[in-house]
A and B are shown apart, each in its own frame.
Chain A
Amino acid sequence: MSTLVLLLVTGLGLGALYFLVASGLSLIYGLMGVLNFAHGSFLTVGAFIGWEVSRRLSDGSWWALVAAMLVGALVGALAAAATEFFLIRRLYNRHIEQVLVTVGLALATVALFEGIWGTDPTYVTSPAWLAQTTEILGARIPNNRFLLIALAVLVLVTIVGFLRFTRYGLIIRAGVENRTMVTALGIDVRRAFTVVFAIGGAAAGLGGVLASIYYGYVSAHIGSSLLIFAFIVTVIGGLGSLGGAAIASVLVAVLQQFANFYLGGTGDLAVVLALAAVLLVRPRGLLGAKGSTA
């Protein structure tokens, strides 16, 4: 029982990370049809700079952690908005080229991160409480899992609220459904593109800081390794569906934890098999719209 609870909560924590990456990917894809390979780099740069700032403030305190998260989200948002503005926008509606540019950016930035911060992991110091455990139903659960889950839920609620109650949110929701018609109503949908990139980048940057708490370190590849799972999550959840991304994040992460524990560390393979199964049964994903299998 305690193992079950531990796996479940740890899975939820990992799912929270996946969601922070996948939410942006899914929104960006849904609105713009862009598969963003550079999304992992937004996460990495957010994590690195977030921790740099935090380290200079006061290492290991709660204040420093909050600062790291805020800076991480801000840096992620800026990096993403700049990417949209300077690279993606120039290739408006040329989806393949847009993907290619993000691929180039991902390769270049990871190399740059290695140049700046080195190839070895940089270990981070977070408040002591996060490294301790709390006992729930006999399971000793690392406290950082609770932080991850709480913040992912907060991000989900914030994004949903933004989409539901603001004009930009309205434009984005409409644009995900039918971008052409939004334009035909006299709305410059490109501004919404920048907003979506910024939101996705902020979530990823925050995710970067949290991922480094989860793993205990930052590295130049932390973003790209999470990105692949985020891709799988978005396909399973249904491209462009935020709710789908949330559900699939949890399912994938929990499945991964269970397979790792009970099936001899085969978590990654189990996830790919799950992806194959979803494709066979339901190519458009759990909550994907009809006709959006492409």
Chain B
Amino acid sequence: MIIRRPGFGATMAGLAVLLLATAIAALAIGATGFGLGGLLHPGSAGRDDVAWLVLSQIRAPRVVLAALTGAALATSGAVMQGLFRNPLADPGLIGVSSGAALGAAIVIAAGGAWLGSGAIGRWGVPVGGMAGSLASTALLYLITTREGVTSTNLVILTGVALGAFAAALTGILIFRANDTALRDLTFWTMGSLAGATWTRIGLLLPFLLAAAILMAGLASPLNALLLGEADAALMGYRVERAKRLAMLGVSVATGPVVAFVGVIGFIGVVVPHLVRMVTGPDHRLVLPGSALLGAILLLTADTIARIIAIPADVPVGVVTAAIGAPLFVWLLIRLHDVDVPS
């Protein structure tokens, strides 16, 4: 069985073009029925100011947030799958998402009492999400590390338990929440990009940039880890450091994203597999490829979520799961296996 691979440049260029096309389509489609055409031919409709407002303040930030969220979740999933050599791994599996949701939920539940709408209020939710994901990652690391060695099997099992515990605490907060907080809290359990603003994107960017820098150095160690931890160490890779960086990068990427858009499933699990089907297992392609395809798919899902039940806005998490799950099963049946067998 001879393996043929598309080139790095061709793959990335193809995905970038696809992302651009998806973004333009997402900008053009929406509940208000303003197309891009109205902007290109000023004066034709007489409603240009409204159209411009809808595009620049509602659709555009939502498109950007969807792309960033999709990229962050998919890349985190690719890192987790490579690190744990487990095809099901994603930030949700090891409880990072639940920790982030709990952190943000605590801020929101407390919010009515002491948070204003000023800087603290704006930073409160993403910092809460970030703190929640970092705290759950740190706890996970402490529990699963003995004498500097982190057991990856233990990480998965403990992560599942921590995630369930954090979800239970979030549930208690929801149960005890007042009406305002309840609406905000419920919105996470399904995930939605409806709250996108340029301010939020501005808050998100530094975290995602930091995560991107952390993850950029992980491609080679993750490739080596596909041979097992012993061989990776023999090949001169600092395996334990790679594990720490990967867990840190994933929680930095996932925490604030979950804080803003809630828990969106399936993107983190499915996208890396789709990318590997084309590029093969090399993480130097899988990581950037997942970022681009994650952006494309979440953008598509969110556009569907916006228009499928106009004027209602279906939570995007429902769309990704409703479309993603059957698609994934179909792909598994067709391929009969995946590239990262446990």
Chain B associates with chain A:
no
Q: Which residues of B contact A (CB under 8 A)?
A: none
